[in-house]
Amino acid sequence: MILATLFVLSDNLPSWIQAISAACIVALTFLTLIVLRKYAADTRTIADASASQTENSQMPFLAVVMRPETHDSTGGWGIENQGFGPAIDVSYSSSDQPDAAFTRVEPIAKGSIVAAHADIADAFALKQRLVIRYESLSGAKYCTTVTMTKNVMQTQFAKRRIQPRAVSSRPLPG
């Protein structure tokens, strides 16, 4: 009887080995998948951090400054790029309403100033906030908001969120 049992076990031994090896392969494949997913997540985090560092190293920052009167300039209020990269698609307004009229100006290189004395002086005299919208070369959108209260200038800087345009639901004619 013992001999018969040994014969049955030896006959089924290869199928048990195959079943165990198949289970081990499945487990190993599953563990490999877990490791690869973690690796992909880490790689994505590194890529995002790299993109963020690149953006931060080239980020423009537009501020309102009082330019001194010099031999070459009459002085007055201006918009200066105090950031690390050029500002493109620059526009400003004395209102932050969605339908406000914005005045467009040329791109402002790092360290450059654009004269805007009359518009800025008018906004401050009327106690309105000055809103400056602009982009970096990467397409990130920024907004500087400046208010003058009791001869103290307050400046706020923010990354803009793009709001979707309103879509009319009127039927087309005809």
Res 111 pLDDT > 70: yes
Domain range annotation of the chain? 1-57, 58-159
pLDDT value at residue 143: 93
Res 156 pLDDT > 60: yes
Assessment of whether the complete model's pTM goes beyond 0.85: no
Q: In what order do the strands lie in the sheet with 130-135?
A: 103-105, 88-93, 130-135, 141-149, 152-159
For 15-40, write each residue's pLDDT tens digit: 778 888 888 999 999 999 999 999 99
Domain 58-159 class in CATH: mainly beta
Res 41 pLDDT > 70: yes
pLDDT value at residue 172: 47
For 43-91, write each residue's pLDDT tens digit: 998 888 887 777 777 899 999 999 888 887 788 999 999 999 999 999 9
Residue by residue, what is the 3-state secondary structure of the chain? CHHHHHHHHHHHHHHHHHHHHHHHHHHHHHHHHHHHHHHHHHHHHHHHHHHHHHHHHCCCCEEEEEECCCCCCCCEEEEEECCCCCEEEEEEECCCCCCCCCEEECCECCCCEEECHHHHHHHHHCCCCEEEEEECCCCCEEEEEEEEECCEEEEEEEECCCCCCCCCCCCCCC
pLDDT value at residue 32: 94
Distances, alpha carbon 93 to alpha carbons 34, 53, 89, 136, 167, in Å:
52, 30, 14, 19, 24
More reliable by pLDDT, 145 or 14:
145
pLDDT band (50, 70, 90) for residue 8? low
pLDDT value at residue 166: 43
pLDDT value at residue 18: 81
pLDDT value at residue 75: 85
